[in-house]
Every structure is written in structure tokens, then in C-alpha cells.
Structure 1
């Protein structure tokens, strides 16, 4: 019996192992078939986008609840009151809470630098340079840091954490399913769209946010998946607890034609203010350079806490404060004070090392700018009757465009807030004015400006990563035909027949590059009589012109154009004259056109 029992156990173990192998193979077959479906037709991206939208909406809801509970526990506010809408906060708590949160973030940053961990990549950079590839670990870390920053009271919003985790989840699924580059970028946009839609309860806003700021283009092929994810995110958030940043205005007055000019003037003023804010960002960061990295957020937190003693409206994103200020009467001096303090709190929070976004903060400050503008016009005694609420909505949207970008995103946010086409029309016009002004005078949104300060040259989420990846090293051929400088023309002719290649490389005794000789020049009839007497080096061209492996194809083509060469040698490095390969102009141009064609088909939605 014992032996029989042992045999039964062994058989059971074998069967269990076989079952596990069969299940795993079946699972692999399912995943393989799913990958094939997603590659075969863009229609199958829609169910994937719905899954991403639902999961992102749930995550946004959880993050919002955690932040609100943190505010309740730390600041002792009622559960149904936003931190920035509170009339008063304990001065001691206001000083200590952001400083403690800053200490935690400062230590995290100190450890990251000590362990030489690369900085996290945001969705804009991922889509522009990395083909939509995001690290899920980094996304979780960034979202957690955003929660700590907002939860402790720093003057930043959660929307950066929302979009980071939404895009991270989407990228993780896309990489697991081995989606193509264009599809992966699209799915990352779906994650960001769902995050914004869930946060504001505005699916159209979320969809245009993804198109304008994350994917970088509007296209037929991307519309359905992005809108599906956006709707799923908004509905999920609404079903669970309601959108955390929901803004609804029940009644807005009609906008007369005479108000358009005043609101367009407001748009221009807001554009200049937005540029000043973005220009001020690196200046404020320089104030913290000499301070130890772990101490910077602590000092920044104390500064924000000191301003919160004056007005709690500087704390967190400002959602509660904006709802509070929309319909109440406020003195011009009070509005100006809140604007200055909130701007200072936002810049200090980000410069000192807190994590978060300026999306909602820009909406809040912009609304106050609109209210201040309307108040100043009224004080000036002008006959123009400008509705303060319309001015607030215009200021909100235009500062959002100046700092975040996306004129259609902000315009549709106003439409979903007010349900008023009249107000949306004037806001759209004002957003276009601001967008053009900022693009001409500055050329960046806040996110691309911060990337610019780090040395990147991108100005949007348009995919330029393929251009950087298409380097000379990838394009060149390594079967280089070399001849010594002392070789005669006749000897070189005997070694290389006409038509076998375009050119040969001339090298000296140290194998250093001394120029190129084209075979048509080498076989010129004028040289027949002196071919045994002339050395090949006397025909060499392009001694000072060569390519380097790290150059991208666009740089290589400019060198071809400037030199007029049809073929160029590739040198080992700037400090070395060793030849490691060669590249022809025709091949470089063909590959460049192929990549542009593929990128264009992605823009037009013809993803095949």
C-alpha cells in the first residue's frame, strides 16, 4: 500500500506538470493569436483601448481617494471639502506637512542619483523619442511621488501622475503584445486620454489631449481607439466615485460680438504671462542648485506652507479653490495676491523637487487672471460689459494653452463644462490667439521646455525617435575597399574592376583615412598613358569630409549635399582617422524616404 500510494502521488505530480505545460502552451497560443489579430487590423485595437480605459479610470479614482484621505488626515479638513477650498489651515501643520513630504522625496532623489538610476521618462518623451516604450516601474514611482507631493500639500496637481500611470499601463500591455511602433504610440495615447477623461469627467477633452499632446497628430486611424479609451475612463471614474476634477457650470450668459476684442486682448496678455512663467522656471531652479538635493524639497515645502498660512488656495492643485472663486465676489487686490502666491508656490514646488503637473494649476490661475481682467475693466469705467464668468473661462483655457498646450483640448474642456457653443466659440478663438503667440515668441509648452533644458530638441510628441535611431552605423557597409597611398593607378585598376563599386578608400601606412577615389575617375581615359607613374592618392577627394557612426541620417544627408559626394567614408570617431565603413548617398536617401513614408502612413491612419 505505501508503494502504491507513492506511485499514485508520482502519477498525480506528472499529470499536474503536464496539465501546467498544456495550460501554458494554450495560454501562449491565445497570446500569439491575439498579437496576430492586433497586427492584422486596427479595429482590434479598440477592445484593447477599452480595457486600458477601464483600468486607468479605476486607478485614477484610487489615486484621488488616497490624496483626499491624506488631506483629511494631515490637515484635519472635512472629507467633503477640498484642501484649497478650506478657509483656514493650522499654521504648524501647513509648515510641517509639505516639508515632511519634501524630505521623503528628497531622500528618494538622493538615492536615485547615488545608485545612478536613470530619470523617469514621461509619455511625451516616450512617444517622441522611444516609440511609446515606458517603464512600468518608473511610472509607478512617478505616480507615487506625485501622490506624496499632492497629499502633503505641495502646489502641484495629480494629473501628471494620472497620465504617467495610464500611459505606463498601456505601454506595458502594448509591449507584452509586441505591438508595432505606431500602434504602441497610439495605445500610450489611449492611456493618457483615459487618465485625463477620468480626472475631469470629460471624454472629448481626454481624446483631444491625447491627440494634441501625447500622440502629436490627429488621424482617422487613431480616433476610434483614443475616443473609446477616453469614454471608458470617464464612465469608470463616474461610476465609482465621480470625476475628481469635475467642473460643471450650470448657466453662462451669451457672449456679444463686442466682447470678442476684449477677450482676445486677454488671450494676448495671458500668452505673455505664460511665457514669463515658463522662462522663470529655470531661474527658480537655479536658486536651489547649491542646496543638497535631499534638502531642496524640504525648503520648498516650508516656503509653500508659509504661503498657505496667508491663503490655503495655494495648496495642492487648486480644484476646490477654483470652484469656490468662480461665483463669489472678490476684491481685485485679493485676486492679484492669490495669483502671485499660487504662481510662486507652483514654481517653487517643481523647482525644489516635488512631482506633479501644472495642468489644473494653470486652469485655476488662468481663471483668476480672467476674473482680474474683468474687474480691472469694470474699475476703468469702460462701457464694455464683460461677463466675469466668461472672462474666467477664457483666462482658464488660454493659460492652459500657454503652459500645457492643446488649444482644442482646452476649448472642448470649456464646452464640456458649460454645454455652451457661444462661449466655446469665443474661447476657441482666444486659445488660437494664445497658441500662435506662444509658438511664435517661445516655441514650447512647459513639458517640452523642461525637456529642452535637459538638452532635448523636441517641441511636441511627434515621433522623431525613428530619425535618431536611423544612424550612419546602422546604414553603413563595412566591406571597405582600401588601397595604400603608394599604390599606382595601374595597380589599383588591376585590383578593382570598373563597375564593381563606386569608390575606394585611400589609407596611409598607419591605416589612417586619406580620401576617396571614385572608380570612374580612376578609369578616366586621360590617365591611361601615365597610369604606371601616378599614385592613386593624387586623385583622392574628400580628405576633410567624412561621416561618424553616431550621426543620424538627416545629418549625413546634409553632409552629402554640402560636399556633393556620392559616397563617403565612415570614421571610427572624431579623434580617429580609422575607416570602419562607407555609406552611399542613394542608399541613405532611400532609407530616409522609406522611414518618412512609414511615419506618414501612421499619421494618416493607414497602419498596416
Structure 2
């Protein structure tokens, strides 16, 4: 019989699963059985995700126009000055409002929000749609009041949460659920950037954690549907107009590698900077609900210098990527925007660094092109702005192919895309070898999670000792005589018996039955405590299979007792090494078959 142990996967969406309206049985069976049905469902998720993205983006823009007195269609970060110096206090107001929302969540003792990467890595794709609504509200307040954060977190959270809700309704398998969550994120990014290839590879590299032929059709279908909805509802252009050189000079390739190294260093500094700001706020002793308002005050001061540090940076990127600017102006914009992003995230504003990293990378590329201009004849600075944009986004967000396709879909130029690919791969390698994390996984690391990507490691965490152990075991007190033990356990009746302390019922060790019948045991009235083995080696129900195998290896035992904790040490089960290996192999084989579509 299986022991019921706490399961994070169940906790993540238990409320959603109970509230979700189940799809009719025949449709559930169709989606679980037919790959084409899964593609159709993914397309539906993509279209709905595109609608959500357009609605969130429109709401944020409406807040900017209303609060900052912009002309309709104008972008906040594209402004040269604030309409009034008093508008610099809007981030403070936004921080105060966000603080109230955080205080409400703390009062309700809400569990931490699960994002798509964590959901796919640990929980088999299960995440809460209501979490998505919370993230959208917090992200809209943050971005709408001018915090230097992007809306991509809201886009992917709500779209992936919707996809997970569909997966729960259709009772989808773990692998299909993870794919569908990736479809939601793909649609969100494709709709936000009008870039289906970018959205698809964002899902593969960052949300699903691996590329597979089985996931290709649903992910691409979702990305295309998200893009089509975006184009139907939006008339804005996401392309970068540029005159690319007919051929890139040979010097451009080593220059791209050098720029990649600079982008890797800057990306690590920004990620570390966010952490330092966060620690600084924590050391002040301010309640978490008050920190965004203080951060908003600092952000307002930066906005008085230039409003281009506000919001995600869409307008500033459109203005600055190919505008004539002095080297000092580029450095100032780069430094102020990096500081604004670190202050915004570190003080508690909700959002991400996706578009901020694109803007910062473009400024870095412009600076590099200005300094290295004499060595790059015939190459416009905007070329290296695109390369820097993609390289820095790779360093912070991750996904070298994602950023390469974004550059390709923004410029439509294949030679530049090849240059971007070189820089993105080099940046990814440098960050991975020197730092080891993207921004999202770095935040998980600070929380104590060992997540390096969305690769599915949740199944091994769910394969716990409590789920695998046997509970039909017999125990014997340590003061039992050898004669009584032989009478109760004849040779051949069982291999081992758990011995417990007669006073506290705590685990004492294991008696191997053959040991009780060994030659030379003449004193039959002696207690069996002299035969105890593995007195210090025990398992806990919460241990996963890998942790259990490490204990087996250290103890050199074929079976170990499972106790409820280190204090009471009450025996709750028994687990053998052979059963652990078999269950681990079965689960590993299932994951492989899911990846190849043969499950």
C-alpha cells in the first residue's frame, strides 16, 4: 500500500483541478489518443493566448497614456521629457498600490506563485490560472505606473496558466501537459513580438527544456495562431528598418565574439545587481510591502533625468537603435536603464527583463560599434546594435536560438542572423561556464531550488521513498531473546526483521534472519540486540529515488528501514534497493518514450 506524502504537484493546482470543468469523456480520450487533436487544442490555446496578450498590452498602453499624459499611440519610454515633474511620483504611487497587493497576499498566506519554467521543471506542467491573473494584475500596476519591467512575465504566465487549465480539464498525461504549457508561452511571445519562430523556440529552449519532433507541431500551431491574432488586432510594426551590407567584412566575426564576451559580462553584472539591490532593501528592515514605493521614489528620480528608463523600453528602442547619438549619451542611457531595471526588480516590482535586456543590448552594441568603427568598414552601427541586443538577451533570458530567430524576424536579414547566432551561442557558453544561470533560474537558485532549466526533474522528486516503500513489515523489540526470535521467524520465512526500542518504539536496527541461525550462537537467552545491523542508516518518506540510492550505496545494504523523522525514528516502512532501481528505470523509460512520442 502506498503512503500518502505531500505532493507539490497536487498542491500547485488542486484548487484549479477541482474548479475546472472537465471536458466530455470522448473529447478527453480523443486529445489523449490523437496527436492531431492535441495540435487543434494547442491552436486554440495559441489564439486565446494571443487575445490575452493583446488585451494586457492594450491595458498597459492605456495606463501610460492616461497617467503620463501621452499622445495616443506614443510610447512612454520614447518620451524625451515628462509632461510634468510631478509625474515622477507615479512610480511611487504604483509601488504603494503594489505593496497593498503584496500585503493582501501575505495576509491571506498565499503560496508562492509558480511560473511556467518551474511548473514544467517540477510539477509536470501543472500551474494555477488564478496565479496568472495575480501576476497580470501586479505586472500591469508595475509597468503601467512606469517601473522598468516588461510585460512578458504577464504574457507567458497567463497564457501558460490557461494552457495548464485546459490540460487539467482534458486530464492530459505529464508529457502532453508540459508541451501544452510550452504552447501557451510560445503563443504569448509570438503575439508580443509578431515572431512565431521566436515564440516556438522560446517554448523549446526555456519552457519545455528540450526540442522534440513530437512537440513541434503543437508548439508551432500555437505560435502561429498567437501571431495571427496579434496581426488582426494590432497594426504596429516590430521590424527594424536597416540597410545591411551586401557582405560582412571578415573582421565582423571576431568583433561579434568580442561583443558576446562583453554582453556576457554585462548580463552577469545586471543579474548580480538585481540581487544586491534586493539584499540592500532587505537589510533596511523595511516590510516587503513598502519596498516597491521606495524603489519607485528612486525610479522617479531617474525618470527626471530621462523618461527612457521607464517601462520596458519599446519606445526607447525604436528611438535609439539607429539614432545619431554621442558616445557619452549611449553610456548614460545604458547605465541609467540598467540601474532602473535593477532597482525595479530588486525593490519588488513585478515583471521581467526580457525587453529591457534587448534595449540594453542594443545600447551596448551601439557603444561597441562606435569604438570599433574604424575596424569595421562598411558596417552600420545598427548591425552591432542588433547583435548586442540578441547577445545580452541571451545572457539574461537564455535561449540563443530564440534570440537568433528574434533578430532574423525583426530584420529579415540572414547574414546578420548568422552573425547574431555566433554571438548568442558564444554568450550562452560564456554565461553558462562562468555563472551558470539565466535570470529566471538565478532567482530559483536564490530561493534554494536547483533548477537550471525547464527540463523535467519533477518526476524524480515525485518518485519518493514514501511512494515506493512497503508497509507490510513486522517489527521485533530489541530485548527479544534469540530463542523467541527463532520461534517467531523460522529460517526461510523472511530475509530481515526491523528491530525497535521496546520503550520508545524507535528504530534500532535490522536483524538478518540468517544471522540468528549462524553457527556459534550458543546462548539462546541473549537478546537480539547483539545482531543488529545498519543502526545508523535509515530513509525518510520525503527522500527521492536518487537520494535513497545514495544512502543504499553508503550503507552497502540491500534494504533499509523508513522512519518518520530523526527525532522519533518510528518505523513506517521498508524499501529495497532492487525495487528502487526498478521503479527508477521504469519512470526514466517513460520519460524517454514521452519525448519520442511512443508513450
Q: TM-score band, normalised by the shorter chain?
A: over 0.9
Residue number in structure 1 paired with 2:561: 569
List aligned pairs for 1:12-31, cutoff 5 A. Answer: 31=24
Whole-angstrom distance in 2 between the partners of 1:604 and 1:248 = 38
User: Residues 63-462 of structure 1: matches in 2 within 5 Å?
Assistant: 63-242=56-235, 246-253=238-245, 254-289=247-282, 290-378=285-373, 382=375, 386-462=379-455
Q: Distance in 2 between matches of 1:283 and 1:515?
A: 49
Using a 3 Å threshold, how does the CA distance of structure 1 residues 46 and 307 change in structure 2: closer, same or farther?
A: same
With 213-222 and 129-138 compared, the bigger mean Cα shift is at 129-138
CA distance in 1, matches of 2:154, 2:100: 19
Q: How much does 1:349 deviate?
A: 0.8
CA distance, structure 1, for counterparts of residue 361 and residue 130 of structure 2:
34
| TM-superposed deviation, 1:533 | 5.1
**Partner Cα distance (1:122, 1:416) in 2:** 27
Residue 75 of structure 1 contacts residue 93 of structure 1 at CA under 8 Å; is this kept in 2? no
- Per the alignment, do residues 92 and 382 of structure 1 end up closer, same or farther by CA in structure 2, a change over 3 Å counting? same
Provide closer, same or farther for how the CA distance between residues 498 and 409 of structure 1 changes in structure 2, counting only shifts above 3 A: farther
Deviation at 1:306, TM superposition (A): 1.4
Q: Which residue of 1 aligns with 2:586?
A: 594
CA drift of 1:217 comes to 0.8
CA shift digits 1:283-336 (9 cap, x unpaired): 101222222323211121121121112111111111111111122111111001
- 1:470 paired with 2:457, answer no
Q: Describe the SS at the equivalent of 1:372.
A: helix
Distance 1:383 1:448 in 2: 36
- Listed as ranges, the gaps of 5+ residues in structure 1 are 1-27
Partner Cα separation in structure 1 for residue 410 and residue 544 of structure 2: 46
2:517 pairs with 1:513: no
| Deviation of 1:400 (Å) | 0.6
Bigger mean CA offset, 248-257 vs 534-543: 248-257
Distance 1:250 1:411 in 2: 17
Residue 241 of structure 1 and its aligned partner are, at CA, apart by 1.2
| Greater Cα shift, 98-107 or 402-411 | 98-107
| Residues 58 and 237, structure 1, Cα contact 8 Å, conserved in 2 | yes
Match of 1:496 among 477, 489, 494: 489
Alignment coverage as a number of residue pairs: 575
Cα distance in structure 2, aligned partners of 1:153 and 1:231: 31
Q: Deviations over 1:162-215 (max 9, x none)?
A: 001110111111111111111111111100000000000000000000011011
Task: Report deviation, 1:121.
Answer: 1.1
Moved over 6 A (4+): none
Which residue does the alignment assign to 2:595?
A: 603
Contact 1:502 1:567 in 2 (8 A): no
Distance (whole Å) between structure 2 residues aligned to residue 350 and residue 247 of structure 1: 28
Q: Secondary structure at the match of 1:506?
A: strand
Q: Which of 430-439 and 489-498 deviates more?
A: 489-498
C-alpha distance 359-599 of structure 1, shift in aligned 2 (>3 A):
same
- Residues of 2 paired with 1:604 and 1:444: CA distance? 28
Q: Deviations over 1:556-600 (max 9, x none)?
A: 110001111000011120112221211111111111111111122
CA 1:535–1:311: 2 relative to 1, 3 Å: same
Mark the CA change 1:451 to 1:89 in structure 2 (over 3 Å): closer, same or farther: same
- Output the CA distance in 1 between the equivalents of 2:397 and 2:366: 20
Which residue number corresponds to residue 545 of structure 1? Answer: 537
C-alpha displacement at 1:490, in angstroms?
Answer: 4.1
Shift, 1:605, TM fit: 3.4
SS at match of 2:241: coil
Q: Shift of residue 384 of structure 1?
A: 5.9
2:251 match: secondary structure: helix
Deviations 1:398-431 (A, max 9, x none): 1111100001100111111122221111211111
Distance 1:30 1:558 in 2: 43
- How much does 1:255 deviate? 2.0
Contact 2:357–2:396 (8 Å) recurs in 1:
yes
Give the distance between the partners of 1:79 and 1:560, measured in 2 at CA. Answer: 67
Q: Which moved more, 1:303-312 or 1:227-236?
A: 303-312
Could you report, residue by residue, the CA deviation over 1:229-254 in whole angstroms, capped at 9, with x for unpaired residues?
000000110111146x8233353223
Please tell me whether residue 480 in structure 1 is matched to residue 457 in structure 2. Answer: no
Shift, 1:92, TM fit: 2.8
Counterparts of 1:451 and 1:220 in 2: how far apart (Å)?
29
Distance 1:165 1:363 in 2: 22
How far 1:554 sits from its partner (Å)? 0.9
Distance 1:418 1:499 in 2: 76
Partner of 1:8: none
Alpha-carbon distance in structure 1 between the residues aligned to 2:422 and 2:381: 18
Partners of 1:427 and 1:130 lie apart in 2 by 34
Measured against aligned partners, the alpha-carbon deviations of 1:16-36 in whole angstroms (never above 9, x if no partner) come to xxxxxxxxxxxx997110100
Shift of 1:154: 0.9
What TM-score comes out, normalization by structure 1 length?
A: 0.91
1:157/1:360 contact within 8 Å kept: yes
Q: Cα RMSD over matched residues?
A: 1.8
Task: Decide whether the 8 Å contact of 2:251 with 2:375 is kept in 1.
Answer: no
**2-structure distance, mates of 1:93, 1:32:** 59
Partners of 2:376 and 2:113 in 1: how far apart? 53
CA distance in structure 2 between the partners assigned to 1:321 and 1:139 by the alignment:
28
SS of the aligned residue for 2:570 comes to strand
Pair 1:383–1:237, CA change in 2 (3 A) = closer
Cα deviation 1:96-133 (Å, max 9, x = unaligned): 21111111101111121122111211111111111111
